[in-house]
Amino acid sequence: MIQFDFMYLTGAAIAVVGVMEWLKGFFPVDKVPSWVWRALMAPTCVAIAAAGGGALNQILSNGAALIAITQIGYPVLVQLPIAVIEKFRKSLGA
């Protein structure tokens, strides 16, 4: 039976976002199309789910859940803080 551990999935989603941001550090982000990053996200999610162990169906279901959570969490974990920092910089006149 497939079981989902919310704390594991939350931590793994943060790890996926971290790995994706780490990968972006090696390439000029503005020159790589966004579909490339989305395509890389799926195998990254499955790899991190596989690192958590379990049977193949558990790995695939955790990978699918990670894709969904990461798609929702990326704007909150990365884009929102960047927007807040940029707004703060503009208010300082920098």
Residues 31-55: tens digit of each pLDDT: 888 888 888 888 888 888 888 777 8
Place of tokens 């798609």: 71
CA geometry: angle 7, 11, 13, nearest 5 deg = 115
Contact 4, 62 (CB under 8 A): yes
Residue 1 belongs to some domain of the structure: no
73 occurs within a structural domain:
yes
* Domain that includes residue 56, residue range: 6-92
Higher-confidence residue of 3 and 55: namely 55
Give the number of domains in the chain.
1
pTM of the model: 0.67
53 assigned to some structural domain: yes
